[in-house]
Structure 1
């Protein structure tokens, strides 16, 4: 009896509290379900599923399609970011190893490019040496990048990069045509080397001394001290006159003397003065030519040769003009008169002037009329030192 009364006490307590039996079972089911007991569904009778719902204190709002779609998208983005982060952390050691490989390749390329004599790739051309260093450094760096991509299992990226580089190179080729033309012309000029630093050249209408040759332009220092930069493409296609390629250079000047003076006497005086100047070469010897003879006077042109390695052309030419002018003055050979002379003659006079001291000799004995061979030796030196496309023995079909 006592035991039975003990079991009946909870039921009496429930009835005293005014709770319905099914309501209590439903509350117990939810409590057990919330704490996660696996036996909750077995301990509670099936009638609990049909119990009356517990009144809610807050009214819930049903979810709309927009809320579900936004939540689904955020969940997808979060899952993707989480997956990539985990994958990146897993591949972090390989990524660090690939970066180290690229850095080592860059360092090795710089080291090898600075010591090209180990590979016997050095030339006598500083411009080509710089170009060769950049090529060697670039090849080693590209090899390191390929090894790093292979380590990361990203070799498929190489094909895409090469294809993109081809299209990009074609577009840049049209956009930067002038720059590419100057760069290629610089390489060809460096290979051909039609001039050296310090040479005096004339390129079209530009004249000066060669200072430097870069990948884009050529630097000239003009005779008045200005720096002139010419694009390599212009230099490569222009008419180039190198005054320093041959150490021997000819100077010339003209004198206009009165028509009444002896040409032979003026020629002998001028040649003697030019030959006596320190710096004028004896081979080729000084020479002269008659440019014009008329009522306005006789125009004589004199020539002399100097060695540009030891003498200045302008200074010697100025000294020659000064000495010849003084010798003509001492010999009584002057410039043409600017006044007109009217000569009255008798009817029985034939009008021919009487011969004087300055009369020309009637014979040409001792006059040199042979072929001018002054530059033949220099032409032969150029033919022997360079490939001559005009020589049939050296030309190829």
Structure 2
């Protein structure tokens, strides 16, 4: 068998080199890729959101916006603590106020204000309507409290009227009818004012009370200037009531206006003229005018003049006239009738005679007329002639059959004379006094 001589095998290192190169290349790629992934910062994880917390924050913000003035149209939304405001407002100030309210709401970390300023008519009308609805809702909610406040005011008014009608309980009743009525009005007004203040305080309107009291001075000045004449007449009426220069039924002359007093009201003095007409004189004019009161003194003097011829005796004529005047019913003996020589002129002598009457028993005009009638009759009987200043010239001759008509002399007796008090306007005066329901001079007494 042939022997096969085999040549021994030798090991080559080239495959190992290639394997090492491959491993180095792979290691290099891994080195470039892995460190980038390993060295990169992990992304920040987003915070976890709580929808319930956002809803709660939104509700709180919405409630605060609804209660703010002019922000009812602002609609809030909250997401992850970020409050977004949408809607319309009337001015920039309200827009800033909405953002401030949102920033102060707990749970809000950021505010995004998308509110727009809109001054259109529709927006204003809509805002006014929303405000009106809100006020009506508040009014309905406060109805029970409002009823209690009204009841307090009515009770205060009733109590004021109750105590005003019973001032004698308070020991402030006045015998002056005018002041008595004024005190009644003051007591009732104070009671009503206290009731109103208590009612406003109950309704929580204390700021309104302060504003009203604070503006009372300004309002008083304005009203005083606007109604100056009315206030002047009212104050004059108070002063006239305190002074009481006349009483109902007095015969007075106020600034050339003559008549009898009917009543004194808060604005005017009511006068009944001697013609039977009703005359209203402002109290300010009555207070400042010259006043003549005939009824204050019951004794009143009358006078009249008589002219006699210059050839007649003054003493004889005066004595005869005074004797006739003293016979007139109603003429007083104290003071007694008197006379003076008023004038002595070429046309004759003028004698003036005086007499006194008691106005409570006799009428001045009637007594004076009767005195003149008796003096004329006495002068005619005694042959005391009037001044001969008029001449009658007869141009025809009277026949024998014609005789002058007899002259009728006045009687010197005064038994039939009427000197009673003049009652011509008494019926009208009494009717006017009864019709005057606010007679501030009426104290329950009637004047004869």
TM-score (norm 1): 0.65
- What is the CA-CA distance between 1:121 and the residue it aligns to? 2.5
Report the CA distance shift for 1:205/1:74 in structure 2 as closer, same or farther (over 3 A).
Answer: closer
Pick from 173, 183, 191: which aligns with 2:242? 191
1:149 correspondence with 2:200: yes
| Other-structure match for 1:246 | 297
Q: Which of 132, 143, 164 does residue 183 from structure 2 map onto?
A: 132
The corresponding residue for 2:441 is none
Which deviations, in whole Å up to 9, do the C-alpha atoms of 1:258-300 show, x marking residues without a partner? Answer: 1111001101111111111111111111100000112210000
**Of residues 190, 215, 225 in structure 1, which corresponds to 2:266?**
215
Q: Of the candidates 235, 241, 265, which is equivalent to residue 316 of structure 2?
A: 265
Within the alignment, does 1:116 sit opposite 2:167 as a pair?
yes
Partner of 1:371: none
Seen in structure 2, the aligned counterparts of structure 1 residues 337 and 214 have a Cα distance that, compared at 3 Å, is same
Q: Which residue of 2 aligns with 1:297?
A: 348
Correspondence list, 1:63-142, <5 A: 84=135, 87-142=138-193
Using CA pairs below 8 Å that are at least 6 residues apart, which structure has the higher relative contact order? Answer: 2
CA distance in 2, matches of 1:248, 1:80: 77
Say which SS state the counterpart of residue 244 (structure 1) adopts: coil
Distance 2:337 2:347 in 1: 26
TM-aligned CA deviation for residue 85 of structure 1: 5.1
Q: Equivalent residue of 2:261, what SS?
A: strand
Deviation at 1:122, TM superposition (A): 2.4
Q: Deviation digits for residues 97-155 of structure 1, max 9, x if unmatched?
A: 11110011111111221222222332222222221111111011001111111212222
Q: Which whole-Å CA distance do the structure 2 matches of 1:237 and 1:303 have between them?
A: 32
Matched residue, 2:229:
178
Tell me how far apart the structure 1 counterparts of residues 182 and 132 of structure 2 sit (CA, whole Å). 46
Displacement, 1:87?
Answer: 4.1
The 1-side partners of 2:272 and 2:330 are apart by 26
- The residue that corresponds to 2:286 in the other structure is 235
Measured on the aligned residues, the alpha-carbon RMSD in Å equals 2.7
In structure 1, the gaps of 5 or more residues are 1-63, 341-397
The whole-number CA distance in structure 1 between the counterparts of 2:171 and 2:252 is 33
**Paired residue for 2:375, among 321, 324, 339?**
324
In the aligned structure 2, how far is the partner of 1:65 from the partner of 1:98?
Answer: 39
Cα 1:310–1:86 change in 2 (3 A) is same
Deviations along 1:350-386, one digit per CA (max 9) or x if unpaired, are xxxxxxxxxxxxxxxxxxxxxxxxxxxxxxxxxxxxx
Q: Does 1:312 align with 2:363?
A: yes
1:201 alignment partner, SS class = strand
Does the residue aligned with 1:218 lie in a helix, a strand or coil? strand
Larger-gyration structure (1/2): 2
Aligned-partner Cα distance in 2 for 1:139–1:65: 50
Residue 21 of structure 2 is matched in structure 1 by none
CA distance in 1, matches of 2:224, 2:368: 51
Work out the CA distance in 2 between the residues paired with 1:278 and 1:140.
Answer: 59
Whole-Å Cα distance in 1 between the matches of residues 187 and 375 of structure 2?
A: 62
Shift of 1:162: 1.9
In the superposition, the TM-score normalised over structure 2's length comes to 0.58
1:204 Cα shift? Answer: 1.5
Alignment length (residue pairs): 277
Q: In the alignment, does 2:252 pair up with 1:201?
A: yes
What 5-or-longer segments of structure 2 have no aligned partner?
A: 1-85, 89-114, 392-448
For 1:278, the equivalent position in structure 2 comes to 329
Superposed displacement of residue 78, structure 1: 8.1
What's the offset of the Cα at 1:86? 5.2
